[in-house]
Structure 1
């Protein structure tokens, strides 16, 4: 399916490029195209303008369809949390690499290192 849409997309692109290059230059850009060519009548200009618009719409639609088709099977992923690994069949817990973990895990570990654990209940003051 995706290959068929890519082939159609490439055919539209090639035709769109040819159609744009056949049109008469209106501004003096490079100074080319001001003379009378084989396609210089008003009717041909309207035909080429309409053809360009139709091909541009086809290019837009096939581009959107290809991007939707590419993301159809993609699963959402988080850039903050690490990806979860499947549990081994033996029931053993997986080892977590020391350098791994997400941003939130590293922030939590650094916060735990800086602050002492909170008391579980009221305590008497200690002398120093």
Structure 2
């Protein structure tokens, strides 16, 4: 349902952009007509009738845009409950260590990786890591 409403919302947005761009500029500029207002155009809708139709279409599309926006926001907030990003910090299949609840995020991540959290003042220089042990075949 939400996907259908998003597609309808996007169609309304594109139609609204098109209708707004079709309207004649009220400013002193030349506008899209080239001659200052498209004076030589004759056809089905001209002058005041076209302006009224475009104004009404803009109002209807704007109202539909707001309605679909409200509906999408209500649908998005209905299915979600507030939760913390730290709730799923433990990797899949592993339990978090018993002491991993306290401290800041960096310390929790270091505990999950099996490292000791860094002290604010280094007590001794770190020793160089040894090369990884490769099992030998017999």
TM-score w.r.t. the length of structure 2 is 0.54
Alignment-derived partner of residue 101 in structure 2: 97
| Number of equivalenced pairs | 91
Q: Secondary structure at the match of 2:26?
A: coil
* 8 A Cα contact 1:6 1:66, kept in partner: yes
Find the counterpart in structure 2 of residue 44 from structure 1. 50
CA root-mean-square deviation = 2.9
Equivalence for 2:70? 64
Structure 1 unmatched ranges of 5 or more:
84-93, 102-128
Which segments of 5 or more consecutive residues in structure 2 lack a partner in the other structure?
A: 88-97, 106-138
- The residue number in structure 1 matching 2:19 is 19
Q: Deviations 1:3-41 (Å, cap 9, x if unpaired)?
A: 110111011111111111111111124x32422246641
Return the TM-score normalized by structure 1. Answer: 0.58
Q: What is the alpha-carbon distance in structure 2 between the residues aligned to residue 52 and residue 4 of structure 1?
A: 22
Q: Distance in 2 between matches of 1:42 and 1:58?
A: 24
CA distance in 2, matches of 1:3, 1:16: 20
C-alpha distance in 1 between matches for 2:12 and 2:4: 12
Residue 28 of structure 2 is matched in structure 1 by 28
Are 1:24 and 1:40, in contact at CA under 8 Å, matched by a contact in 2?
A: no
Alpha-carbon distance in 1 for matches of 2:17, 2:49: 20
